[in-house]
A and B are shown apart, each in its own frame.
Chain A
Amino acid sequence: MPDSVTQILASGPPGLKKNIAVLGDGFAAGDQTIYNNKVKELLLDGVFGHDYFYEDAQAFNIFRVNLISNDSGVSQRVYDEHGTPADGSDDTIVSTTLKDTALGYIFSGSWAHCWLESGANTGTLVQNALNTWVPDYDLVLIILNEPGFGGCGGGGFQIVTLGSDWTVMAHEFGHGTGGLADEYCQPGTYTGPEPGAVNLTKNSNRATLKWKQFVNPATPVPTGVNATPGTGICTGFNQGPPPAGWSNDQDAGLFEGASYRDSGIYRPVVNCRMRGNAPPYCPVCYTELKTLMHPVSGHSFLNCYAGDFNGDGKDDLLVHNGNSIMLFRSNGSQLDLVFSAVERIPGSWQFQPGDRFYVGDFNNDGKDEVVVYNSTNWVMEYLGLLADDGNNGLKLIARYDDAMPGWQFQLNDQFYVADFDGDGRKDLYVFNGNNWRIPYLGMLRSSGTGFSVVQRYDANMPGWQMTAGDRHVVGDFSGEGREDLWVFNGSDWVYPYLGMLRSNGTSLSMARRYDNKLPGWQMRPGDRHFVGDFDGDGKADLYVFNGDDWSIAYLGMFRSLGNGLCLVERYDGNAPGWQMRRHDRHWVGDINGDGRRDLFVYNHQDWGTQYLGTMRSNGTGLTASWSADWVGEWNLGAVDKFEVCNYEGVAGQRDLFVHNQDWFGMIRALPSLSLQKIYYRWIHNYRYGRNW
Chain B
Amino acid sequence: MARKTPKTTRSRPQRQKDGAPPVVEDPKLPRMGEGEPKPLRGRAAVMPSEPKKDTGTQNRMAAFKRGAGSGDARMPKEGYPDQEPPKPPRRSKSDAPKKKDGYVRLRVLVHDDELSVVGAKFVEGPLAQTETVHPGRAYEVMLGSRRVATGVVPDAGQWRSFPDPTGRAGLGGHHITELPSYEIAVRIPAEDLSMSALPKAQITLYQWRGAAPTELVAGRSMRSQLPGRTNVIATLKGIRLNQLPKQAQAELRQALG
Chain A contacts to B: CB under 8 angstroms: 13-16, 85-86, 88, 111-115, 127, 131, 135-138, 149-156, 160, 164, 168, 172, 175-179, 182, 184-186, 193-194, 196-198, 210, 260, 277, 288, 291-292, 295-296, 347-350, 374, 377-380, 382, 385, 396-401, 404-408, 436-438, 440, 444, 447, 449-456, 458-460, 463-465, 489-497, 513, 515-517, 521-522, 525, 547, 549-554, 572-574, 577-582, 604, 606-611, 626, 628, 633-639, 660, 663, 678, 680
Given A550-B32, A572-B32, verify A465-B165 contact (CB < 8 Å). no
Smallest CB-CB separation from B64: which chain A residue? A456
Cβ of A380: which chain B residues have Cβ within 8 Å of it?
84
Instruction: Tell whether, in the assembled complex, residue A453 and residue B71 are in contact, meaning their CB atoms are under 8 Å apart.
Output: yes
B235 proximal to A (CB < 8 A): no
Instruction: Tell whether, in the assembled complex, residue A136 and residue B23 are in contact, meaning their CB atoms are under 8 Å apart.
Output: no
- From B12, B45, B71, B83, A406 is in contact (CB under 8 Å) with B71
Given A138-B185, A154-B155, verify A572-B22 contact (CB < 8 Å). yes
Instruction: Tell whether, in the assembled complex, residue A198 and residue B135 are in contact, meaning their CB atoms are under 8 Å apart.
Output: yes
B44 proximal to A (CB < 8 A): yes
Cβ of B54: which chain A residues have Cβ within 8 Å of it?
438, 458-460
Cβ of A493: which chain B residues have Cβ within 8 Å of it?
40, 43, 45-47
Q: How far is the CB of B86 from chain A (nearest CB, A)?
A: 5
Instruction: Tell whether, in the assembled complex, residue B51 and residue A182 are in contact, meaning their CB atoms are under 8 Å apart.
Output: no
Cβ of A550: which chain B residues have Cβ within 8 Å of it?
25, 29-32
Q: How far is the CA of A160 from the CA of B162 in the complex (A)?
A: 9
- From A149, A578, A608, B13 is in contact (CB under 8 Å) with A608
Cβ of B43: which chain A residues have Cβ within 8 Å of it?
492-494
A and B contact pairs by CB, cutoff 8 A, 14 listed: A13-B125, A136-B105, A154-B157, A154-B160, A175-B154, A175-B155, A178-B154, A184-B173, A292-B154, A349-B83, A405-B69, A460-B54, A493-B45, A552-B25
Q: How far is the CA of A138 from the CA of B137 in the complex (A)?
A: 15
Smallest CB-CB separation from B13: which chain A residue? A607
Cβ of B27: which chain A residues have Cβ within 8 Å of it?
551
Given A179-B134, A451-B71, A452-B72, verify A522-B32 contact (CB < 8 Å). yes
Instruction: Tell whether, in the assembled complex, residue B29 and residue A453 are in contact, meaning their CB atoms are under 8 Å apart.
Output: no
Cβ of B44: which chain A residues have Cβ within 8 Å of it?
494
- From B152, B162, B173, A115 is in contact (CB under 8 Å) with B162
Given A16-B127, A574-B20, verify A608-B159 contact (CB < 8 Å). no
Instruction: Tell whether, in the assembled complex, residue A196 and residue B48 are in contact, meaning their CB atoms are under 8 Å apart.
Output: no
Q: How far is the CB of A623 from chain B (nearest CB, A)?
A: 12
Cβ of A464: which chain B residues have Cβ within 8 Å of it?
47, 51
Cβ of A680: which chain B residues have Cβ within 8 Å of it?
1
B144 proximal to A (CB < 8 A): no
Q: How far is the CB of A444 from chain B (nearest CB, A)?
A: 8
- From A16, A194, A451, A460, B128 is in contact (CB under 8 Å) with A16
Instruction: Tell whether, in the assembled complex, residue B22 and residue A579 are in contact, meaning their CB atoms are under 8 Å apart.
Output: yes
> Which of B1-39 touch A at CB < 8 Å?
1-5, 7-8, 10, 12-18, 20-33, 37, 39
- From A172, A438, A454, A610, B5 is in contact (CB under 8 Å) with A610
Q: How far is the CB of A622 from chain B (nearest CB, A)?
A: 14
Cβ of B66: which chain A residues have Cβ within 8 Å of it?
454-455
Size bracket of the B interface:
35 or more
B59 proximal to A (CB < 8 A): yes
Instruction: Tell whether, in the assembled complex, residue A460 and residue B72 are in contact, meaning their CB atoms are under 8 Å apart.
Output: no
Question: Which 6 A-B pairs give the minimum distances between C-beta atoms?
Answer: A573-B22, A405-B69, A608-B14, A184-B173, A179-B154, A452-B71
Q: How far is the CA of A578 from the CA of B47 in the complex (A)?
A: 37
Instruction: Tell whether, in the assembled complex, residue B211 and residue A551 are in contact, meaning their CB atoms are under 8 Å apart.
Output: no
Q: How far is the CB of A591 from chain B (nearest CB, A)?
A: 19
- From A88, A135, A578, A628, B105 is in contact (CB under 8 Å) with A135
Instruction: Tell whether, in the assembled complex, residue A407 and residue B161 are in contact, meaning their CB atoms are under 8 Å apart.
Output: no
Q: How far is the CA of A635 from the CA of B7 in the complex (A)?
A: 12
B60 proximal to A (CB < 8 A): yes
Cβ of B112: which chain A residues have Cβ within 8 Å of it?
none
Instruction: Tell whether, in the assembled complex, residue A553 and residue B25 are in contact, meaning their CB atoms are under 8 Å apart.
Output: yes
Cβ of B61: which chain A residues have Cβ within 8 Å of it?
407-408, 436, 440, 456, 458
B132 proximal to A (CB < 8 A): yes
Q: How far is the CA of A626 from the CA of B18 in the complex (A)?
A: 11
Q: How far is the CA of A167 from the CA of B179 in the complex (A)?
A: 25
Cβ of A396: which chain B residues have Cβ within 8 Å of it?
75, 80
Q: How far is the CB of B14 from chain A (nearest CB, A)?
A: 3
Cβ of A176: which chain B residues have Cβ within 8 Å of it?
154-155
Cβ of A210: which chain B residues have Cβ within 8 Å of it?
211
Task: Give the residue among B43, B62, B159, B174 with the most A Cβ atoms within 10 A.
Answer: B174
Q: How far is the CB of B33 from chain A (nearest CB, A)?
A: 7
Cβ of B51: which chain A residues have Cβ within 8 Å of it?
459-460, 463-465
- From A184, A347, A451, A549, B80 is in contact (CB under 8 Å) with A347
Cβ of A611: which chain B residues have Cβ within 8 Å of it?
16
- From B10, B71, B136, A400 is in contact (CB under 8 Å) with B71
B114 proximal to A (CB < 8 A): no
B96 proximal to A (CB < 8 A): no
Cβ of A382: which chain B residues have Cβ within 8 Å of it?
83
- From A15, A185, A451, A580, B127 is in contact (CB under 8 Å) with A15
Instruction: Tell whether, in the assembled complex, residue B15 and residue A608 are in contact, meaning their CB atoms are under 8 Å apart.
Output: yes
